Structure 1
Amino acid sequence: MDVEDQQLRPRAVHTAFTGNVAADLPRVTGGAPARPARRTAGTVLAGLGRTMRPRQWVKNLLVFAAPLASGTVVRPDVLAATLLAFALFCVAASGLYLLNDVRDVDADRRHPRKRTRPVASGAVPVRVALVAGGVLLAASLGTAAVLARPALTAVLATYVCISLAYSLALKDQPVIDLACVASGFVLRGVAGGAAAGVALSQWFILVAAFGALFMVAGKRYAELLALGEQAETRRSLREYSASYLRFVWSLSAAVTCTTYGLWAFEMRSDSGIPWTTISVAPFVLALLRYAVDVDRGSTGAPEEVVLRDRGLLLLGAVWAVTVALGVWTG
């Protein structure tokens, strides 16, 4: 007996005693989930917190990439601007997650894992999630307009517009959905440069773009394997095959490694140890290590893979140290 059956059966027994079959029938036969036994202000707030997905905020650390690569992050003004960019993206992303869960509520209720999400399960009312999402988006854009550089405000607004378009329609379009999700990572990297007033290398943008595409293709591959015949819960998955997604992540991984090498050689110092060139080794090894999880189909939640894989974390630390040495000694 699954979770939904456990929720529905008590109401079915109840109708046998009350005779109010017409009122309770929709909850027994499908559609909306049974109302939670207790919905208090505390449980709704906790559900909103879960729907905002704070664990996903780790993605927003990408705003620090450009200031770190340029060596300007230690300047107080640059650090403050980058922290503001990080906070704005966290608030905006949380608002988008709330609105996305409202948009996908019916599909999530048919999904074996997503049906336990607070909005899909009924722990958070749809109207509450909708209002909260709108408030968070307005707060992030309004704060950016007042406190941030115009360039950062423009990048954040672009991120919000693309994300909303993705949630409303583009997520059902094959290939376009991959590009939309990958653009979110790229815009985070661009936002760091915009916040700090740092010019971005063309190689930096390409590494971010194709590295993101690599991760997104791996995520879709994991979803395809996990759902199997139930892949219709996401329309775009109907158009993908395992071999096609393997092709996408292989191609994107190759371009990522190539463009990173070009960036590393561009940043190489003519004197001393070429640390940025050396950083190519841990970077490629980390990519290959992550590809092991991609091939297993266990990258449905990339941030969880990164945080729990100690070998990947070690390679990432070595890469970060070599890049830092290249920046500070170059």
Structure 2
Amino acid sequence: MLNYLKLIRVNQWVKNLFVFLPIFFSGNLLNIDLFIESFYGFLIFSFVASSIYIINDYVDIEKDKKHPEKKNRPLASGKIAKQNALILFVILVIVTSILIYFFGNKQVAILVGIYFFMNLAYSFKLKQIAILDVMIIAFGFLLRVFVGGYMTSLIVTDWTTLLVFDLALILALGKRRGELINADLQGITRKSLDGYNLNFLNSALAITCTVAVICYMMFILSPDTQTKFHHYIIYTFVFVFAAVLRYLQQTFVYSRTESPTKLIFKDHFLQILIMLWGISYVLLIYFNHGK
């Protein structure tokens, strides 16, 4: 059972929490009906994403066997047979389709379909095309947010779209940077990294982090945002700016090669900053009755 959970990457389901962003920022997180609808969206995306992980491992099985870490994956190590993996893939696709039919709508079906076929193409070919690969990953996060919006009939703002895409791009570029460094250290050549080098990825990360900070600053200074939340929202900039600086410090000063998501789980300072940012929004959205 544990090997099957590893195969479908249950630990990666945390990414699908982006589905809940629309109800959180709209102040409807405590609305039971909308929360349940968002939860169904979370399940839909979790199952479809897991089906893609299976195909990705199936396609890369021979490459993974030669990789010092990926060789331990269930398919590459032979702990799960190819046939069983494909059966599980079909089951997940069927379950996803059933959930969409009973709890989703036309828009959700289209968005999940786009995600599914886009990532199939990514697994077979597109992940070997530099820049396009990270764009696809970032767009996948955006689709999660859109699904959350359509499941609950809530509007996803332009600011949310822009900030989520940029954040996802930072995560994708950071992951590629770690993969590139580790591949060089281990003497491994990967076609998917041919279009990258360390200087490019460092520059790309610096640019996307700068864009994120500027966009967030414009967001919290906009009259609409301050009217919706409170002018105190400007103080959340401290947490965002400090988190970006901390990430860049860990990346460039301490030469950490983990993906940003793994780094967050290991770095207590980043965890504290994210927690304080989250608490600030909970207070501004759900407890600020005098705004």
- Residue number in structure 2 paired with 1:255: 211
Q: CA deviation at 1:83?
A: 0.8
Distance 1:187 1:106 in 2: 30
Of residues 273, 287, 290, the one that matches 1:315 is 273
SS of aligned partner of 1:120: coil
Distance 1:210 1:231 in 2: 29
Q: CA deviation at 1:130?
A: 1.6
The alignment status of 1:162 with 2:114, answered yes or no, reads: no
Higher Cα radius of gyration: 1
Maintained 8 Å contact 1:92/1:136: yes
**Which residue identity is paired with 2:268?**
R
Distance 1:221 1:72 in 2: 37
Q: CA deviation at 1:272?
A: 9.2
Cα displacement string for residues 290-329 of structure 1 (whole angstroms, at most 9, x for unaligned residues): 2233334535443332222211111011111222233233
The alignment status of 1:284 with 2:241, answered yes or no, reads: yes
Trace 1:176-325 onto structure 2 (pairs within 5 A).
176-228=132-184, 230-232=187-189, 234-266=190-222, 267-270=224-227, 274-295=231-252, 296-325=254-283
Cα displacement string for residues 65-123 of structure 1 (whole angstroms, at most 9, x for unaligned residues): 12111112211221111111111111111111111100110111111111111100111
- Residues 133 and 230 of structure 1: CA distance in aligned 2, closer, same or farther (over 3 Å): farther
**Which residue identity is paired with 2:243?**
A
% same residue: 26
Maintained 8 Å contact 1:204/1:263: no
SS of aligned partner of 1:189: helix
**Which residue identity is paired with 1:90?**
S
- Residue number in structure 1 paired with 2:105: 149
Of residues 267, 284, 288, the one that matches 1:326 is 284
Distance 1:271 1:138 in 2: 41
**Which residue identity is paired with 2:274?**
G
Q: Which runs of 5+ in 2 are unaligned?
A: none
Distance 1:150 1:271 in 2: 30
- Residues 192 and 265 of structure 1: CA distance in aligned 2, closer, same or farther (over 3 Å): farther
Cα RMSD after superposing both structures: 1.9
The farther-off stretch of 127-136 and 212-221 is 127-136
- Residue number in structure 2 paired with 1:23: none
SS of aligned partner of 1:121: coil
SS of aligned partner of 1:102: helix
Between the two proteins, the alignment pairs up a number of residues equal to 285
- Residue number in structure 1 paired with 2:9: 53
Distance 1:177 1:231 in 2: 19
Q: CA deviation at 1:269?
A: 3.3
Maintained 8 Å contact 1:224/1:231: no
- Residues 275 and 102 of structure 1: CA distance in aligned 2, closer, same or farther (over 3 Å): same
**Which residue identity is paired with 1:94?**
S
**Which residue identity is paired with 1:284?**
F
SS of aligned partner of 1:74: coil
Q: TM-score, normalised by structure 2?
A: 0.91
Q: CA deviation at 1:231?
A: 4.2
Q: TM-score, normalised by structure 1?
A: 0.81
**Which residue identity is paired with 1:97?**
Y
Trace 1:115-126 onto structure 2 (pairs within 5 A).
115-126=71-82
Maintained 8 Å contact 1:214/1:253: yes
Q: Which runs of 5+ in 1 are unaligned?
A: 1-44
The alignment status of 1:113 with 2:60, answered yes or no, reads: no
The alignment status of 1:80 with 2:47, answered yes or no, reads: no
Distance 1:226 1:148 in 2: 41
Q: CA deviation at 1:255?
A: 1.3
Q: CA deviation at 1:271?
A: 9.8
**Which residue identity is paired with 2:44?**
L
Distance 2:229 2:24 in 1: 20
Cα displacement string for residues 155-184 of structure 1 (whole angstroms, at most 9, x for unaligned residues): 222211211110011011111111111111
Distance 1:178 1:271 in 2: 33
Distance 1:74 1:68 in 2: 9
